[in-house]
Amino acid sequence: MTRISLRDVGPRDGLQAASAFLPTEKKIEWFRLVAAAGVPDIEVTSFSSPRLLPQFADAAEVLPAAMAMGGFGVSALIPNRTGAERGFALKAPKLNYVVSASNAHSLSNVGRSTADAVAEFGEIVRLRDELGATTELSVGIATSFGCSITGRVPESDVLRIAEELLSLGAQEISLADTVGYANPRQVAGLVKDVMGLAGDVPLLCHFHDTRGLGLANAAAAIDQGVTRLDASLGGLGGCPFAPGATGNINLEDTVFLVHEMGFETGIDLEALIDVRRSVQSWLPGESFTGAVAKAGLPLRKAA
Ligand SMILES: CC(C)(COP(=O)([O-])OP(=O)([O-])OC[C@H]1O[C@@H](n2cnc3c(N)ncnc32)[C@H](O)[C@@H]1OP(=O)([O-])[O-])[C@@H](O)C(=O)NCCC(=O)NCCSC(=O)C[C@@](C)(O)CC(=O)[O-]
């Protein structure tokens, strides 16, 4: 059976929008619990500016703790070269760099143009190679399906950016719907075209459920052959530098979708729903989404 690999981005995308600091030991407990439920990958932190995102002031403690736990793939977000340097110094196995297809979102998010952000990825690849580091470098193309500052983002822009990043050495491309503008037909078209460019380089999809189409978009991506998806425990998330951004597709509902479509994830959904209850109790100020946790699993009668 084909496996769809799901990554919990809650500890990064979810927490970057959270109003209170989640203590480091709780973050580590989160990893332990979701990994025990079978989640194969976790984006554990962000090497961003602690002034802008104080939630990740403990990134230098969180990443090594996650790496020492083992049993799941560890990655962290980097917004710039300084973030990459911090990740390389800690021997991060995988770093996720962000480039926004929308120039306006790029300026708001990382304080530099899309073209400069693409060029900086080339510097990061060179630095990694000079250091002899083995860190895998992935790039997420934010606002791939539209931007809440400028509106439509032409598909040709996303394809050109993907081509540039691939030629600079991206080892994974992620298409991100930062503000929930995508629809399933758009997803199918862009995924097909980016896969055509990427060849053997894997494609990941990262959807937000801002307008209720997140799971439909995930299904469309899977139908095109995507086997890597981001989702967030309890549907937490949202880029603080994109107006109107809200949570990622909910991890528990995504597991349900993937299993119902006949794929495996290696995740025990009931155990994951228990984990969600624990994490929710640590973040009383946050609103958790998700249909399966509320409705329960369907009754399975013997044939
Ligand atoms: C990009 C910066 C850092 C530029 O921030 P800046 O202030 O322009 O940086 P700077 O280069 O001018 O440096 C200013 C100071 O910050 C320090 N600095 C500089 N960089 C770092 C760093 N990485 N880590 C720690 N410190 C840093 C730097 O060393 C310096 O320190 P000083 O000399 O004053 O003491 C800032 O704008 C930033 O952190 N932005 C946050 C971006 C972000 O994390 N956004 C959310 C994630 S993206 C997202 O959510 C989308 C995604 C991925 O989920 C997919 C989707 O849905 O679309």
With 90 as the cut, is the pLDDT of residue 266 above it? yes
With 80 as the cut, is the pLDDT of residue 303 above it? no
CA dist 250 and 9 (Å) reads 10
Domains of the chain, with CATH numbers? 5-295 (3.20.20.70)
Query: Ligand 1 mean position to 274 CA, how many Å?
Result: 34
pTM: 0.97
- Residue 97's contacts (CB-CB under 8 Å, 6 or more residues apart) are 77, 78, 79, 84, 121, 124, 137, 138, 139, 140
How far from chain centre, in Å, is Cα 186?
A: 19
DSSP for residue 269: H
Q: Is 13 in the pocket of ligand 1 (CB under 6 A)?
A: yes
Q: With the CA atoms of 257, 258, 260 and 262 taken in that order, what torsion angle do they form, in degrees rounded to the nearest 10?
A: 160
**Cβ atoms 179, 245 nearer than 8 A:** yes
With 80 as the cut, is the pLDDT of residue 258 above it? yes
Q: Check residue 145 and give its pLDDT.
A: 98
For ligand 1, atom 52, the nearest C-alpha belongs to 142
Which residue(s) pair with 98 in the sheet? Answer: 140
CA-78 nearest atom, ligand 1:
23
Q: Check residue 223 and give its pLDDT.
A: 98
Cβ atoms < 10 Å from Cβ of 55: 24
Q: Is 55 in the pocket of ligand 1 (CB under 6 A)?
A: no
Q: Check residue 302 and give its pLDDT.
A: 76
Q: Is 164 in the pocket of ligand 1 (CB under 6 A)?
A: no
Q: Is 122 in the pocket of ligand 1 (CB under 6 A)?
A: no
The string of pLDDT tens digits covering residues 83-110 is 999 999 999 999 999 999 999 999 999 9
For ligand 1, atom 49, the nearest C-alpha belongs to 239
CA dist 16 and 55 (Å) reads 6
Helix, strand, coil tally for the chain in percent (to 5): 45, 15, 35
Q: What is the best residue among 16, 48, 175, 205 to mutate for testing ligand 1's pocket, by most ligand atoms within 8 Å of CB?
A: 48
The confidence band for 1, taking pLDDT boundaries of 50, 70 and 90, is confident
